[in-house]
Amino acid sequence: MSAGEQLLSIRNLVVRYQAGRRHAGAPPAVAGVSFDVGAGELVGLVGESGSGKSSIAGAILGLAPVGSGEVRLLGQRLGGRSGAAVRRLRRPAQLVMQDPFDSLNPHMTVTALVEEPMIVHGLERGRERRAARALELLDAVGLRPAHDFAARRPHELSGGQRQRVSIAAALAAEPALLIADEPVSMLDVSVRAGILHLLDAMCRERRMGILMITHDLPTAMAFCDRLLVMRHGHVVASGTPGEIRDQTLDAYTRELINAASPGLGVAPQET
């Protein structure tokens, strides 16, 4: 990557799913969206289900059809290629999914789950080096002491611990960009901050870029450097959390702000 280039650069992206007869003329899932994510930056993509957030992630990962516009990862344009070439191009972008309960193969040990991406991408050759690297990653995501976790299977872990395994597995592919799709929404409030602080540390310490997809505005406000609010496939507001909170005129965004944690953050009423 040459100086000044973004990790991820999206320009006028349109995602349109194959229109069945029933959906002929349906609006595109993503209708011309542009934004960048730089190294060491945590960018939030906020919106309700169906607003197009996951379609953007899908376009980056090659899971959703790019109708027009472009997606560049480390300066390389994605799309129009197939097979091994595109897998190589996409490796720098890894996904952490919402549901740690079904994204992990229940039959595999924690080490095997973390080693698998190394094998798929041909990254660490040799059993011992892979095992050592897996332990390093488990330690990095806070599963300590790592060797206590190595031989366990997903059902022997709590939800927060499983999500840490998912993050370790994503890191095993040595990504420059992590796409976290609702990484904490399935978890108890009590463990969410741990995962969010971990992602934050990845960003600051490893200079990784993170695109965090969430419908939870307060969380995005607290953790993201910048955020984009999406509605019906369009970005309706973007900026730093402070700009969004204090300056956004977009009515939908204001509605989201007002709907967030209605019962807290206000002085208790006199009774």
Partner 1 sequence: MNVLEVERLNVEVAVAHDGPPTRIVRDASFSLAPGQRLGLIGESGCGKTTTLLAIAGLLSASATVGGRVSIAGVDQFSGIAGGRIPALARRDVGVVFQGTMNALNPVQRIGAQLREGLRAEVRADAQLARARVDDLLERVGLSPTLARAYPHELSGGMRQRACIAIALAGEPRLLLADEPTTALDTLVEQRIVALLDELCRELQLAVVLVSHDLGLAAHFCDEIAVMYGGRIVERGAAAEVTGAPHHPYTALLLAATPTMTSTKGQIVSIPGAPPDLRDLGSGCAFAPRCPRAADVCAARPELRELDAVQVACHRAVSR
Look at residues 18, 52, 49 and name the one whose alpha carbon lies nearest to residue 35.
Answer: 52
Q: By C-beta, is 62 or 183 nearer to partner 1?
A: 183
194 touches partner 1 (CB under 8 A): yes
Q: Tell me the number of residues near partner 1 by CB under 8 A.
A: 37
- Closer of 2 and 269 to partner 1 (Cβ): 269
Q: How far is the CB of 192 from partner 1 (least distance, A)?
A: 7
Instruction: Mark the segment that binds partner 1 (CB under 8 A) among 65-73, 84-92, 102-110, 261-269.
Output: 261-269
* Site membership for partner 1, residue 196 (CB under 8 A): yes
Structure tokens at 201: 């540390």
Give dist(CA 11, CA 90) in Å, integer: 17
192 binds partner 1 (CB under 8 A): yes
- Among the listed residues 24, 85, 249, 259, the single contact to partner 1 using CB under 8 A: 259
Contact call for residue 265 and partner 1 (CB under 8 A):
yes
Q: Return the residues of window 203-242 that contact partner 1 according to CB under 8 A.
A: 215-219, 221-223
Whether the ω angle into residue 145 lies within 30 degrees of 0, i.e. cis, is yes
Q: Least separation, in Å, of the C-beta of 98 and partner 1?
A: 12
Residue entry with tokens 């600051």: 204
Which residue in the set 61, 86, 193, 236 belongs to the binding site for partner 1 (CB under 8 A)? 193
Residues near partner 1 (CB under 8 A)? 48-49, 158, 160, 188-194, 196-197, 200, 215-219, 221-223, 245, 255-257, 259-265, 267-269, 271
